[in-house]
Structure 1
Amino acid sequence: MEYDKKLPQDYMTVGEMAKKMGVTVRTLQYYDQQGLLSPSAESEGGRRLYTDRDMILLHQILSLKHLGFSLDAIKNHLTALETPADVAAALTEQASVLRRKIETLSESLQAIEALKTEVLQMQSVDFKKYADIIVNLQMKNESYWLIKYFDDKTLDHIRNHFDKDSGLRMIATFTRLNDRAIELQAEGIPPESDKGRALAEEFWNMIQEFTAGDESLLENLMEIGSFDGLDDEWKARQTSANAYLGPALDAYLTELGINPFEEDRE
């Protein structure tokens, strides 16, 4: 074309540059707008022109971008590196960034698989419960799968009364007291003993804190360990703890003259 013959020797148009480097014209235009890679010249007709040197720089940009560097980092930092040690330091830093991203993605993948398992075990679609499961997975609560067994009232109560920190503390307390119950049972210490009473008192205080005085929540809580489909190992451990905590709580509450289920019986 007559128009192309007017181009200076050894220069490429934006279209030719894009074709040679396997990028789009829009990409080159964007890099130009961002001040990352500007054409070395302009033709008489106003066409942007690139040189082999520009092509080498673009190759560097694309290579660094492939390694996960942001365009801002390439523009403001990487192109100014002068020594091999500088480049190595930048690569080391980027490797750390990528490792953190991999860890995050790995956790996300595990959460997706865990949630998928829960979704398939639930009897209906419940996005509120899905959200609760995701939150508990983020909290690294190993008992996240119990959520599907709670009714809406219990879950609404948990959402309204606990944040991440208080929720984790409650879970830690529950786990510790159950472990203690199993220990006392293994040691042959009677539930009615002073140690059993002390455990029951702490467990009852935990329940009171959890329910905030709403005893209608007790029934659902007492069913933990008896739900169908529970993990066999977890269920066996919870059953063992309940076998000790039940009599210990009965003795403790009888001593106090408290019967939390009296109204239900009436």
Structure 2
Amino acid sequence: MEKYRAIPQGYLTVGEVAKKMDVTVRTLQHYDKEGLLSPSAVSDGGRRLYTDKDIVKLHQILSLKHLGFSLNDIRDRLIPLDDPADVAQILSEQAATIRNKIANLTESLSEIEALKTEVLEIQTVDFKKYADIIVNLEMKNDFYWLIKHFDGETLDHIRSRFDKESGIAFLQKFLHLQDEAIRLQNAGVPVESPEGLQFAKAYWDMILEFTNGDATMLPKLMQIGESDEFNQELKQMQAKANAFIEPALGAYFSNSGINPFQEETT
């Protein structure tokens, strides 16, 4: 790097470059520190001096940064390349990264809008409940909105019983049994048949897994299951499932001598 007592013709100071390229002096200093763009010369007074060639390189850096490339990628992967195919490959990778970010941001936006709706309907500030809603939105639980109907005691129970992984597994089990109930109903399978009783046992075991045998939770769950907020499609599906689930459970309880409201808490 050359040194000059005065600023020779054809050179610009760091402040002049910053103004010309609409960046801050600190940005240029950072690029120098990172080894991306060092000044071509420096004056005796320590002023960084840049040439037109430096400005062209700065323009390249800013353009690539605009496309979402990190400074490390620009310095280590892009600038050293001299094969168009290699450049195109890196651009393709960056395009895939951006598409993934867009998908994630779109999903986050959808979750924010859903949470905003729930916040307004809850009508009280409850960040614990907000967090539960967010977790269920992340789990792709279409019934996330039911959370606002749970009381604090029930939500504390759910938090103690399930983490995100086990919660997803339980949700999948619930949805599978709902679909199975509709299949059995459509197939005309008698609830007293071995297949019907086997289904009822699996469904009851799922309820016990959720409640941990606490019978006091059953009336709350039944009340929430009757929520008016189910849309027409969900109401129809739930009605089809319940048309088999309820008599099947009744047959199973009668056959097994179980009184569901006298289950002991384990």
Pair in the same fold by TM > 0.5: yes
Instruction: Read off the aligned partner of 1:55 and give its amino acid letter.
Output: I
Question: 2-side partners of 1:236 and 1:150: how far apart?
Answer: 23
Shift of 1:51: 0.7
Task: Tell me the secondary structure at the aligned position of residue 49 of structure 1.
Answer: strand
What percentage of aligned pairs have identical amino acids? 61
Shift of 1:125: 2.3
Aligned to 1:215: 215
Question: 1-side partners of 2:189 and 2:93: how far apart?
Answer: 57
Instruction: Read off the aligned partner of 1:106 and give its amino acid letter.
Output: T
8 Å CA contact 1:225, 1:238 repeated in 2: no
Instruction: Read off the aligned partner of 1:37 and give its amino acid letter.
Output: L
Structure showing greater relative contact order (alpha-carbon pairs closer than 8 Å, 6 or more residues apart): 2
Structure 2 residue runs without a partner (length 5+)? none
TM-score between both structures, scaled by the size of structure 1: 0.90
Question: 1-side partners of 2:30 and 2:262: how far apart?
Answer: 73
8 Å CA contact 1:226, 1:235 repeated in 2: no
Aligned to 1:109: 109
Task: Tell me the secondary structure at the aligned position of residue 225 of structure 2.
Answer: coil
Aligned to 2:227: 227
- RMSD (Å), alpha carbons: 2.1
Greater shift, 65-74 or 144-153, is seen at 144-153
8 Å CA contact 1:118, 1:148 repeated in 2: yes
- How is 1:1-266 mapped onto 2 (pairs within 5 angstroms)? 6-262=6-262
8 Å CA contact 1:36, 1:75 repeated in 2: yes
Shift of 1:98: 0.9
Question: 2-side partners of 1:262 and 1:89: how far apart?
Answer: 66
Alpha-carbon displacement from aligned partner over 1:168-212 (angstroms, at most 9, x marks no partner): 221122122222222322333332333321211111111111222
Task: Tell me the secondary structure at the aligned position of residue 102 of structure 2.
Answer: helix
Question: 2-side partners of 1:121 and 1:173: how far apart?
Answer: 29
Shift of 1:243: 3.0
Instruction: Read off the aligned partner of 1:235 and give its amino acid letter.
Output: K
8 Å CA contact 1:111, 1:134 repeated in 2: yes
Question: 2-side partners of 1:210 and 1:157: how far apart?
Answer: 9
Task: Tell me the secondary structure at the aligned position of residue 229 of structure 2.
Answer: coil
Number of residues paired by the alignment? 261
Question: 2-side partners of 1:59 and 1:174: how far apart?
Answer: 56
8 Å CA contact 2:5, 2:45 repeated in 1: no
Question: 2-side partners of 1:85 and 1:187: how far apart?
Answer: 58
Greater shift, 119-128 or 152-161, is seen at 119-128
Question: 2-side partners of 1:97 and 1:177: how far apart?
Answer: 38
Question: 2-side partners of 1:76 and 1:37: how far apart?
Answer: 13
Structure 1 residue runs without a partner (length 5+)? none
8 Å CA contact 2:12, 2:49 repeated in 1: yes
